[in-house]
Structure 1
Amino acid sequence: MADADIWPSEIRLMEEGRKLKVSFEDGASYDLSAEHLRVRSPSAEVQGHSPEERKTVGGKRNVAIIGVEPVGHYAVRLDFDDLHNTGIYTWGYLHELGAGGAADFAAYEQELAEKGLDRDRPGER
């Protein structure tokens, strides 16, 4: 499905910024954890400029979203309480994170283990 075909019907912060509820016009609805959104930020700071540059970020178990700002008609920028705010989350990317959430988060936890990082101690590799 192309990003142009994906449109949100609701975006709401929940649980004191620990979750972002995103519902879409196609009927899909996801409760995305702030931790998952932060560690999979689409920013160059996290993703790098190539797959080889992508960072695995640890220590974000208790991160919270403190702001949600629209970016045009295609995305939102999320402000996190650790001051990260450079990622632009398109509707398609939010849908992708929601649809593959459990598997993607399990892959993230595996990456942490492989790199000697964890969800509670800050660090990145």
Structure 2
Amino acid sequence: MDTRPTDIRLRKLSNLLELTYADGRCFNLPAEYLRVYSPSAEVKGHGTGQEVLQYGKRHVRLCGVSPVGHYGIKLVFDDDHSSGIYTWDYLYELGNKQNDLWQDYLQRLAAAGRLRDDAQVIKIVDPAKTD
């Protein structure tokens, strides 16, 4: 089966990537879902067991889409993440398994004690105000 979409649309208002296929299937993939399942080394690691759980991405925005050869696309998010190539096969898999993958992600977040809204907070201390 050819997993190359016949149409790709960035829906900025709804923050979705819409993929349409020749077989009539259409997937609407939210930015948060695409971000936490990025194929980048930052997320996937460099091998099995090196995956890094992404959290605090509920409000991430999808800013841009650009083609990469004839085999995929690069996505740009407003948290400055833009590495990783989403191949046609990987995008189709993300669409086809969206419900199962999303539930798995939510379970992994819960197991790690994290929330979708968690953010890394860095406290900056003014040395002039310390004892």
Structure with greater proportional helix content:
1
Give the structure 2 partner of residue 23 of structure 1: 20
* CA shift digits 1:23-66 (9 cap, x unpaired): 11222210001000000000001000112100110011111110
CA distance in 2: counterparts of 1:56 and 1:18, whole angstroms: 21
CA distance in 1: counterparts of 2:93 and 2:79, whole angstroms: 24
Give the structure 1 partner of residue 104 of structure 2: 107
Which of 10, 13, 36 pairs up with 1:13?
10
**C-alpha displacement at 1:15, in angstroms?**
4.2
Give the structure 1 partner of residue 85 of structure 2: 88
Q: Which amino acid aligns with 2:20?
A: S
The answer for unaligned runs of 5 or more in structure 1 is none
Q: How many residues align?
A: 120
TM-score calculated relative to the size of structure 2: 0.87
Q: Which runs of 4+ in 1 moved over 3 A?
A: none
**C-alpha displacement at 1:18, in angstroms?**
1.3
Larger-Rg structure:
2
Which of 115, 118, 122 pairs up with 2:115?
118
Secondary structure of the corresponding residue to residue 51 of structure 1: coil
Give the structure 2 partner of residue 61 of structure 1: 58
Structure with greater proportional strand content:
1
RCO greater where, 1 or 2, for CA within 8 Å and sep 6 or more?
A: 1
| More deviation, 9-18/83-92 | 9-18
- CA RMSD between the two structures: 1.2
